[in-house]
């Protein structure tokens, strides 16, 4: 494994180090763990603690790995069936804008899923299922269009959409497979997958041990498995009760563990000049890197991320570059599974 700088297409270009590696195809989780005969909370959990050797657990061991008084912050955004498929193209609805338009990604359908499609012209109309039409307004980024559907998008997606699926997932799964136990606020194009292994029984066990759980909302846009792009602006909200609980946990010397990179992004966007988390909402372009550091969180639950993805820079900010490199070497050696249906990683500072 080597370390490399990030070289995304757009947005900030962090110069700090993050691990780089080759991901063998057989380490992608091709289906939900339930299909592999396991419960959601029976996926593997790799635990990183600074200079210590990474440890191996099951996700259901989480209550014993944390202490009473620790706080887990979760993302309560629910996943939309955000992919609409045509004969040759697929439209991935990513992000709602204030003016009623949406950011969308056009993709060419393939035998296994889809791949980026560079076509499209401003003003072009695309006929969608259900006699709907989508007008391309202007190109927002090299792969995202600002577009306008001739009807309410969320209602339309519930009727004609399917969960976004990339080629490493071999078949379609119902939208329920892409929801977490915390999902209450519809709006994400892709599942905030770090919290997928939580079950109602595990939440009960955490609370019984005195571990708090508090929500934020961040609606995820579409990822780009083919491009190592930094994240673009996303809608988020940190409620006042959650901000108070985060500050209280920090002041008391307890951990604040983010369940997912989306939670880190939301909380770090809500930190004021004094280092306290405040109630906040709106759009965030904040990109967490080892150079920006983290001030709100002291731990992170997350999946295993693609080589050269911007997420690895955020993980390096929490774990440290060397600790993250050790963890990924261990995950590769021990055959952990990557992506939204795969295994998980707990990073504790």
Beta carbons of 58 and 42 less than 8 angstroms apart: yes
Decide if pLDDT at 4 tops 70.
Answer: no
Q: Using CA atoms, how far apart are residues 88 and 103, in angstroms rounded to an integer?
A: 20
Task: Give the predicted TM-score (pTM) of the model.
Answer: 0.92
Q: List C-alpha distances in Å: 73 to 258, 287, 298, 333.
A: 5, 18, 11, 30
Q: Tell me the pLDDT tens digit for each residue of 288-323.
A: 999 999 999 999 999 999 888 888 999 999 999 999
Q: Tell me the pLDDT tens digit for each residue of 84-96.
A: 999 999 999 999 9
Structure tokens at 87: 């004969």
Query: DSSP 3-state assignment of 224?
Result: coil
pLDDT of residue 226: 61
CB atoms within 10 A of CB 181: 18
pLDDT of residue 220: 95
Q: Tell me the pLDDT tens digit for each residue of 258-272.
A: 999 999 999 999 999
């Amino acid at each position: 494994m080597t370390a490399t700088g990030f070289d995304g297409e757009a947005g900030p270009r962090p110069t700090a180090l993050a691990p780089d590696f080759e991901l063998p195809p057989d380490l992608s989780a091709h289906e939900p763990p339930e299909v592999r005969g396991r419960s959601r909370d029976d996926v593997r959990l790799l635990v990183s603690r600074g200079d210590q050797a990474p440890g191996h657990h099951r996700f259901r061991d989480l209550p014993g790995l944390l202490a009473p008084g620790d706080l887990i912050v979760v993302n309560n955004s629910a996943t939309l069936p955000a992919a609409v498929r045509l004969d040759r193209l697929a439209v991935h609805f990513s992000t709602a804008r204030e003016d009623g338009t949406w950011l969308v990604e056009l993709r060419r359908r393939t035998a296994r899923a889809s791949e980026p499609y560079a076509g499209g012209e401003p003003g072009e109309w695309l006929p969608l299922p259900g006699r709907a039409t989508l007008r391309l307004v202007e190109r927002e980024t090299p792969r995202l269009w600002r577009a306008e559907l001739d009807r309410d998008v969320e209602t339309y997606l519930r009727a004609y959409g399917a969960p976004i699926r990339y080629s490493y997932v071999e078949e379609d799964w119902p939208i329920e497979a892409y929801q977490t136990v915390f999902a209450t606020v519809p709006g994400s194009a892709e599942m905030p997958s770090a919290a997928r292994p939580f079950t109602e029984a595990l939440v009960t066990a955490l609370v019984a041990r005195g571990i708090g759980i508090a929500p934020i909302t961040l609606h995820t846009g579409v990822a780009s498995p083919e491009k190592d792009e930094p994240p673009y602006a996303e809608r988020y909200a940190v409620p006042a009760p959650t901000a108070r609980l985060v500050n209280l946990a920090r002041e008391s010397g307890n951990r604040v563990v983010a369940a997912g990179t989306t939670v880190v992004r939301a909380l770090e966007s809500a930190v004021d000049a004094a280092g306290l988390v405040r109630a906040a909402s709106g759009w965030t372009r904040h990109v967490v890197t080892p150079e920006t550091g983290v001030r709100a969180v002291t731990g992170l639950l997350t999946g295993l991320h693609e080589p050269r993805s911007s997420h690895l820079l955020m993980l390096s900010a929490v774990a440290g570059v060397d600790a993250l490199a050790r963890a990924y070497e261990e995950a590769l050696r021990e055959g952990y599974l990557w992506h939204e249906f795969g295994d998980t990683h707990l990073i504790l500072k």
